[in-house]
Amino acid sequence: MSTTITVGTDEQYDVTIGSGVLAQLPAALGEKVSRVAVVHPRTLRALGRTVSQQLADLGLRPLLIEVPDGEGAKTAETLTMCWALLGQAGFTRSDAVVGLGGGAVTDLAGFVAASWLRGVGVVQVPTTLLGMVDAAVGGKTGINTAEGKNLVGAFHPPRAVICDLDALRTLPHADLVAGLAEVVKCGFIADPVILDLVAADPAAATSWDSATLRELVERAIAVKAKVVTNDLKESGEREFLNYGHTFAHGVEQVEQYTWRHGEAVAVGMMYVARLGELAGRTPPELVARHSEALASLGLPRTYRGDRWPALIAAMGRDKKNRGDLMRFVVLDGLAKPGRLEGPEPALLEEAYRLISE
C-alpha cells in the first residue's frame, strides 16, 4: 500500500511513500527520457547497480555517477565531475537525472539537473529518513562553499519523489534518529500531532519499519508539501521550514561537517527556542517541550561553549538575513511560527550560553 502526496500548483509532482515503490521509478521518469544519470553515494553502490540494471532492462541508457558519502557530495569538485560525465555522455535536454541517496545526494543531484543545459528533469529517490521527509521534497538544491552551507544552489522542483521505506532497513540508527529532528521541527512549526506520536512511543518512532514512523513520515511530508506549494521560492512562509537552521548551519560549518545535519538542527532548535524565550516570544513551557522531545529521541540539546565567534560569523551569512539585519524564525506558541528581526547581539550570545555545555 502506498500513499501519494501532491506538491505544487502550476507544475505538480507526486511524492510516493511506501514499501517497494522504487519499482515506480521508470514510469516517474516519463516516456521521452533516454539517458538517465543515477547519482548515488559510495555506500549505495550495490543499489545503484541494481537500479541501473532495471533501467537498462527497460531499454533506457543509465549512467552511474558515484559521489562521496555525506557532505563530500555537496562540493564544487563533485559538481564539476558530474558535469564532465554528463558532457562526455552527450546528455541532452530529453535525458534525466536520478538522485538516489540521502539529502546530500538529492541536493547535489537536484543542482546538477538544475544547472545542466540550464535545467533537465530530476526524479528524487531519497534513501534516508531525512531525505524522504525533507531534502528530496520542495526543490531546494545546492552545494556548500568554504564560506558556508548551501550558499550556491537553485530552486528546481523534481518530476517525482519516490520514498521507498524499504531503503531505511540499512540506514544506520544514528542517521534515522537525525532525520527525526526535521520531523520534530514540522511538529513544532505546524503539526503538534507529530510531537504527541513521538512522546507516546519514542521507541516506535525510531524503528524503521513501525507504523508510527510511517505516520510521522507522511505527516512531515504533508507539512513540507503544503508550505512549498504556497511558497516555492521562500518569499514568505517557506522560511518557517528553516526553524533552527541559522544556528544549525553554523554548527555544521564550525564542526567541518562531522555533525549530522539533523543533529545540528536539534541543537539549533534548542538555541532558537531559548532565543525566542529571551525575546519574550516563546513560552517557557514550549522551550521545555523542545528539550523533552529531543531528549526522548536521543538527539543533542547542548553545544560546546567555546565557539561563539565562529558561530556568529557563520550565522551572519544565513540566507534569511537582509543586509546587516539578522532574521530568525521563532515560535510565538505551538505551531505559531513568526520572525524575530535584528535581535541585540547580547541576546544572541545569551541564548548560546543557555545551551552551552
Ligand X SMILES: NC(=O)c1ccc[n+]([C@@H]2O[C@H](COP(=O)([O-])OP(=O)(O)OC[C@H]3O[C@@H](n4cnc5c(N)ncnc54)[C@H](O)[C@@H]3O)[C@@H](O)[C@H]2O)c1
Ligand Y SMILES: O=C(O)C(=O)C[C@@H](O)[C@H](O)[C@H](O)COP(=O)(O)O
DSSP state of 22: G
Site for ligand X contains 220 (CB under 6 A): no
| Residue at 73: amino acid letter | A
* Whole-angstrom distance, CA of residue 265 vs CA of residue 285: 20
| Residue at 51: amino acid letter | V
Which region holds residue 295: left if phi is over 0, alpha if psi is between -120 and 50, else beta?
A: alpha
Q: How many CB atoms lie within 10 A of CB 210?
A: 14
Applying the rule CB under 6 A, the residues between 238 and 267 that interact with ligand X are 260-262
Active site residue 185: no
Which region holds residue 30: left if phi is over 0, alpha if psi is between -120 and 50, else beta?
A: left
Q: Which of 234, 252, 263, 277 is catalytic?
A: 234
Q: How many CB atoms lie within 10 A of CB 327?
A: 17
> Are the beta carbons of 227 and 211 closer than 8 angstroms?
no
CB closer to ligand X out of 174 and 295: 174
CB closer to ligand Y out of 204 and 222: 222
Determine if residue 233 is labeled as part of a ligand binding site.
no
Min dist. Cβ of residue 241 to ligand Y (A): 4
Determine if residue 80 is labeled as part of a ligand binding site.
no
Q: Which of 35, 40, 156, 245 is catalytic?
A: 245
Site for ligand X contains 274 (CB under 6 A): no
Active site residue 234: yes
CB closer to ligand X out of 267 and 287: 267
Applying the rule CB under 6 A, the residues between 73 and 132 that interact with ligand Y are none
Count how many Cα atoms sit within 13 Å of the Cα of residue 247 in the half-sphere of its side chain.
30
Q: Is 94 helix (H, G, I), strand (E, B) or coil?
A: coil
**Contact pattern from residue 179 through residue 218 relative to ligand Y, giving x for each residue in contact according to CB under 6 A and a dash for the rest:** ---x------------------------------------
Applying the rule CB under 6 A, the residues between 293 and 322 that interact with ligand Y are 319
Q: Which of 261, 274, 281, 289 is catalytic?
A: 261
Applying the rule CB under 6 A, the residues between 142 and 171 that interact with ligand Y are 149-150
Q: Out of ligand Y, ligand X, none, which partner does residue 101 contact, by CB within 5 to 8 A per kind? A: ligand X
CB closer to ligand Y out of 134 and 277: 134
Which residue in the set 18, 103, 202, 244 belongs to the binding site for ligand X (CB under 6 A)? 103
Determine if residue 156 is labeled as part of a ligand binding site.
no
Q: How many CB atoms lie within 10 A of CB 109?
A: 30
Q: Is 64 exposed, middle or buried (0-12, 13-18, 19+ CB in 10 A)?
A: middle
Active site residue 261: yes
Active site residue 182: yes
One DSSP character per residue, 177-215 reads HHHHHHHHHHHHHT-THHHHHHHH-HHHHT-TT-HHHHH
Grid-cell match 538555541, residue found: 271
Determine if residue 140 is labeled as part of a ligand binding site.
yes
The residue among 260, 221, 267, 271 whose CA lies nearest residue 241 is 221
Applying the rule CB under 6 A, the residues between 148 and 207 that interact with ligand X are 150, 167, 170-171, 175, 178-179
Binding residues for Zn(2+): 182, 245, 261
Question: So which residues are the catalytic ones?
Answer: 118, 140, 182, 224, 234, 238, 242, 245, 249, 261
Summarize as ranges the residues that interact with ligand X (CB under 6 A).
41, 43-44, 69-71, 74, 101-105, 107, 127-128, 130-131, 134-135, 138, 140, 150, 167, 170-171, 175, 178-179, 260-262
